[in-house]
């Protein structure tokens, strides 16, 4: 029996770095699972569109698709936008929406990888406070997940971890950096909790001007590639599949 196609659904951005990073991540995930067909689609700004890829898969005779939101929290896009476009899929397809990526221990590992790549070491943890900077959301569930991730990151040994947001929510990155300084933290690092570059990650970087260390976005990290496949496997293991109509 053929494995379902993995369709990674990204938000999209006018910033060309966004799509390039998404494609690099999806290629890395595909290389880890050569027996699975992997496709990429975007909700907005970039091509191919979700509808276009689903039409192509149907014309290729594909039957089953796992649509994986390339999102770190379950907010509006995962709850409304993606389900809406999946409902318009060709009737010949059975489409299952996989869970969003966060929270996950693999995301904690990816965040720490980026902090170490930025120059920190495990020995720096006890003297370093981290600002976990996300894009931001008005969804209480998404805000709660960011807070949970901050707590989990703190439990790995960093002396303090504060969440921050580039939009929609408070505090902003620069405010969280300032608060850690006021708490007497000797070294402050900003860890962007975002997948790809773009306008909001650039805002996070601007807010990190007062920090000692700015890590890179999660990007095509090996942990994130593994997480894509973990969520795919979870969806494949679900008992019921339904037509997308």
pLDDT for 245 beyond 60: no
pLDDT digits (tens, 9 = 90+) for 56-102: 999 999 999 999 999 999 988 889 899 999 999 999 999 999 999 99
Instruction: Look up residue 189 and give its two tokens.
Output: 């690092």
Compute φ and ψ for 97, nearest 5 degrees. Answer: -85, 125
pLDDT on residue 193: 98
What DSSP string runs through the chain?
-PPPEEEEEE---SSHHHHHHHHHHHHHHHHH-TTS-EEEEESSSSSSBHHHHHHHHHHTT--EEEEEE--SS-SHIIIIIHHHHHTTS-TT-EEEEPPPS-S-HHHHHHHHHHHHHTT--GGGGGGEEEEEEE---S-HHHHHHHHHHHHHHHTTT-SEEEEEESSSSSS-HHHHHHHHHHTT-SEEEEEE--SS-SHHHHHHHHHGGGSSEEPPP-TT-HHHHHHHHHHHHHHHT-S---B--
More confident residue, 112 or 137: 112
Token pair recorded at residue 38: 């992997």
Average pLDDT over residues 217-222: 98
pLDDT of residue 134: 97
What does the pLDDT read at residue 244? 41
Closest CA to 6 of 30, 34, 33, 38: 38
**How many other C-beta atoms lie within 10 A of the C-beta of residue 242?**
8
pLDDT mean over 18-43: 98
242 falls in which pLDDT band (50, 70, 90)? very low
pLDDT at 239: 53
Mean pLDDT, rounded, for 45-66: 98
Instruction: Please give the mean pLDDT across all residues of the chain.
Output: 95
Q: Report percent pLDDT > 70 for the chain.
A: 96
Band of the pLDDT at 243, cuts 50, 70, 90? very low
Tell me the pTM.
Answer: 0.94
Distance, in Å, from the CA atom of 223 to the CA atom of 42, rounded to the nearest integer, reads 22
Beta bridge partners of 186: none
Mean pLDDT of 150-168: 97
Residue-wise pLDDT for 119-131, tens only, equals 999 999 999 999 9
Cα Rg, the chain, nearest whole Å: 19
Q: What is the pLDDT of residue 2?
A: 83
* Model pLDDT, residue 75: 83
- In this prediction, residues 152-178 reach a mean pLDDT of 97
Mean pLDDT value across residues 144-150: 96
Task: For CA atoms 154, 73, 224, 25, give the dihedral sign.
Answer: negative
């Amino acid at each position: 029996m053929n494995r379902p196609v993995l369709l990674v659904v990204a938000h999209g951005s006018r910033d060309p770095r966004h799509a390039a990073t998404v494609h690099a991540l999806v290629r890395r995930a595909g290389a880890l699972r050569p027996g699975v067909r992997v496709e990429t689609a975007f909700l907005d700004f970039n091509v191919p569109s979700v509808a276009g890829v689903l039409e192509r898969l149907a014309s290729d005779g594909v039957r089953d698709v796992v649509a994986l939101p390339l999102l770190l929290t379950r907010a509006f896009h995962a709850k409304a936008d993606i389900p809406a476009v999946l409902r318009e899929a060709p009737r010949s397809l059975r489409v299952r929406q996989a869970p969003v990526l966060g929270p996950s221990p693999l995301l904690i590992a990816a965040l720490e990888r980026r902090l170490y790549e930025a120059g920190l070491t495990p020995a720096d943890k006890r003297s370093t406070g981290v600002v976990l900077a996300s894009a931001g959301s008005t969804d209480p569930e998404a805000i709660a997940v960011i807070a949970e991730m901050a707590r989990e990151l703190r439990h790995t040994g960093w002396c303090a971890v504060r969440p921050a947001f580039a939009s929609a929510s408070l505090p902003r990155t620069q405010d969280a950096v300032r608060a850690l300084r006021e708490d007497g933290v000797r070294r402050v690092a900003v860890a962007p909790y975002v997948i790809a570059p773009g306008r909001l990650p650039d805002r996070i970087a601007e807010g990190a001007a007062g920090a000692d260390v700015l890590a890179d976005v999660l990007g095509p990290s090996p942990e994130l590639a593994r997480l894509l496949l973990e969520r795919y496997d979870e969806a494949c293991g679900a008992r019921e599949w339904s037509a997308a109509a």
